[in-house]
Structure 1
Amino acid sequence: MSNNPFPLPKDKLLEAYRTMRTIRDFEERLHIEFAKGDIPGFVHLYAGEEATATGIMMHLTDIDRIASTHRGHGHCIAKGVDVDAMMAEIYGKATGSCLGKGGSMHIADLSKGMMGANGILGAGAPLVCGAALASKFRGDGGVGITFFGDGAANQGTILESMNLAAAWDLPVIFVVENNGYAEATAFEYASAIDNFVDRAAGFGMPGVIVDGMDFFAVYEAAGEMIRKARQGGGPALLECKVARFFGHFEGDAQTYKAKGENEANRANRDCLKTFGRAVTEVGLIEAAELAAIDTEVAEQIENAVLRAKAAPLPQPDQLMANVYVSY
């Protein structure tokens, strides 16, 4: 067995691969299931960006809070939200993580520190600032992570939250998942900067750009930011350059993309392939071990779909239950 050149032991590397594979298979299956017409509402798939969610979330615990986006399935899975409950939620079933009332764009699980996906661009940043402020007052070492895309990056809520986090020295990490398209608008067309990370300096916080398709690059950069935030170092910004393998939403014709762009990204930038090559080439993990995970995850996703389809719908008398919090 070769020495381990990676920043994680073998069991954690296998865990990282399992998480990324679970996200990928979950999304690939939803792509198929949504086309059948059984899933209500819109679905925005995270396939291709698995290394970003996984590389960040492996540093977190349940006390750490994250706020997600409309493209939130990957964040949920990486944060530990139950896959069966997620699938049921997307199908709008009573066994879902939000009892079938949230659907794809509003999955949440506060017990896991997952404050919710959000259909409103940039809406998660103020929420995470509040969660981080609470952690700061409690002194529990918790951090807040807010995810947003290059489109939401120009929203006032994001910029105001960055200023607030800096002014109050909050333990918040702003994560830009820059896939190059704000729905169908190229980043360079709608933004006056080459990289969103350039804005970090304007708020007095450090910023780093990483290849969001490289698990190890994300893991190391995020780990340093999270460590400093836990120790009172204040907010930071992490820009992850990623590529989504599907359209903005299911049914998107993707006419704004160059011909063959998706195929090129899958061939050359697939985080699962690059991760697998890296850990097997040094002899640390056998290809058969990864293949075994592939098989187990495929079975898990198949069972999740079957359970979701068989689960009951929410009943009308439960319409107002769990919608508002009473203090």
Structure 2
Amino acid sequence: MKPSHPASDPRQLLEQMLLIRAYEEAIVSGSAAGKMPGTCTSVGQEAAAVGVVNALAADDLILTNHRSAGHLLTRGADPGRLLAEVMGRRDGYCKGRSGSLHISAKELGVVLTSTIVGAELSLAPGVALSQTMLGRPGIVVCFFGDGAACEGSFHESLNLAALWNLPILYVCENNQWQAFVHRREAMSREHVADWAAAYGIPARTVDGNDVFAALAAAQAAAAEVRDSRRPYLLETCTYRTRGHLEPDDQGYVDQAELAAWLARDPIAACRDRLLADGSLTPAQAAALSDRVSTRIAVAQAFAEASPFPAAEELCRDVYA
């Protein structure tokens, strides 16, 4: 089965990461200017999202969390409609009702975005059971963080998935931070993947700042879930380089640790690798950046021109 966004050209991976970064920086600046509400960004985690989502097929379903922009944009979401949603405008994916934290996009196979930590883990077995009972070939991909892995819903979800043989690819984006608490203060193990063995679930840990490594690992993991119809856990180790929620001065962050991870920026690493092996020229790199900047400028203009929902629409589409 062909992926929905085949990554045959490594420059495409770089452009997708640039788009995610530019989109989230637009939200940061918009929040600072009072044009949009503060939200949770995934700056620094772009390679993990781009690598995994490019490994998926068109009929795979995604459940994600409050740092969802990378998953949505890589899946093909329109940045203008995403920004409109963040700003509460009618042309957003959920007509301005969800903000950035609850976006769903049925046409992209994105079942939901949940700001409740671990909620996507609770729902993933139900979605996968539905896929199985209906005989649908798509697998379910559940993105969560290391914070969610420390909740009971993580263990309940893995237990059910293993017991019922559910086709779920669990993707832990271990970004080292659980809101304002470092992973080391909340986890007894170094890696979330270690916990999968207790449920008989195969697992792998990969460098989440290396987009090529993340893509290869996700392709192998997705293929195994697709073939076996059983769960698999992929842990991408990365770092959240901005605060938990905009604005956030990150006064609780060890500055030496932050500097070390900033030196491993996934976008710079990808660009440098492509320049070094001749897959990308400086002129092409500049053109990619210009194209992304233009897309974001157009997206911002679209979102700002979009009207707010009318008062009579307040309760529409709320209840089934």
Per the TM superposition, whether the score is higher than 0.5 is: yes
Once the two structures are TM-superposed, the CA of residue 139 in structure 1 deviates from its matched residue by 3.2
What residue number does 1:203 align with? 199
For 2:206, what is the secondary structure of its paired residue?
strand
Q: Counterparts of 1:130 and 1:63 in 2: how far apart (Å)?
A: 17
What residue number does 1:92 align with? 88
What residue number does 1:280 align with? 275
Once the two structures are TM-superposed, the CA of residue 280 in structure 1 deviates from its matched residue by 2.1
Q: Counterparts of 2:177 and 2:47 in 1: how far apart (Å)?
A: 19
Q: Counterparts of 1:92 and 1:63 in 2: how far apart (Å)?
A: 29
Residue 296 (1) aligns with residue 291 (2): yes
Once the two structures are aligned, what percentage of the paired residues are identical? 34
What residue number does 2:13 align with? 16
Correspondence for 2:212 among 200, 211, 216:
216
- Please list, as runs of the form range in 1=range in 2, the aligned pairs for 1:36-47 lying within 5 A after superposition: 36-40=33-37, 42-47=38-43
For 2:58, what is the secondary structure of its paired residue?
coil
Q: Counterparts of 1:55 and 1:139 in 2: how far apart (Å)?
A: 27
Conserved? CA contact 1:10–1:285, under 8 Å = no
Correspondence for 1:158 among 154, 159, 171:
154
Q: Which amino acid aligns with 2:14?
A: Y
For 1:115, what is the secondary structure of its paired residue?
strand
For 2:236, what is the secondary structure of its paired residue?
strand
Once the two structures are TM-superposed, the CA of residue 116 in structure 1 deviates from its matched residue by 2.1
Unpaired runs of at least 5, structure 1: 1-7
Q: Counterparts of 1:147 and 1:253 in 2: how far apart (Å)?
A: 26
Q: Counterparts of 1:226 and 1:287 in 2: how far apart (Å)?
A: 34
Cα shift readout 1:204-252 (whole Å, capped 9, x = no counterpart): 1011111111101111111111001111241111111111121011122
Sort the Cα spacing of 1:66 and 1:228 in 2 relative to 1 into closer, same or farther, 3 A.
same
Please provide the CA RMSD for this pair.
Answer: 1.7
For 2:70, what is the secondary structure of its paired residue?
helix
Unpaired runs of at least 5, structure 2: none
Off by >4 Å, runs of 4+ in structure 1: 8-11
- Please list, as runs of the form range in 1=range in 2, the aligned pairs for 1:124-143 lying within 5 A after superposition: 124-143=120-139
Moved more, 151-160 or 90-99: 151-160
Q: Counterparts of 1:202 and 1:221 in 2: how far apart (Å)?
A: 21
Moved more, 286-295 or 43-52: 286-295
For 2:307, what is the secondary structure of its paired residue?
coil
What residue number does 1:5 align with? none
Conserved? CA contact 1:209–1:241, under 8 Å = yes
What residue number does 1:113 align with? 109
Q: Counterparts of 1:87 and 1:31 in 2: how far apart (Å)?
A: 12
Aligned length: 316
What residue number does 1:227 align with? 223
Q: Which amino acid aligns with 1:37?
A: G
Correspondence for 1:317 among 307, 312, 319:
312
Q: Counterparts of 2:178 and 2:103 in 1: how far apart (Å)?
A: 22
Cα shift readout 1:22-70 (whole Å, capped 9, x = no counterpart): 1010011111111111213x40011110111110111223311111111
Residue 104 (1) aligns with residue 75 (2): no
Moved more, 11-20 or 206-215: 11-20
Once the two structures are TM-superposed, the CA of residue 140 in structure 1 deviates from its matched residue by 3.1
Q: Which TM-score applies when normalising by structure 2?
A: 0.94
Sort the Cα spacing of 1:156 and 1:9 in 2 relative to 1 into closer, same or farther, 3 A.
closer
- Please list, as runs of the form range in 1=range in 2, the aligned pairs for 1:1-80 lying within 5 A after superposition: 11-40=8-37, 42-80=38-76
Once the two structures are TM-superposed, the CA of residue 284 in structure 1 deviates from its matched residue by 2.3
For 2:113, what is the secondary structure of its paired residue?
coil
Cα shift readout 1:165-200 (whole Å, capped 9, x = no counterpart): 111111111111111111111112112222111101
Q: Counterparts of 1:245 and 1:102 in 2: how far apart (Å)?
A: 25
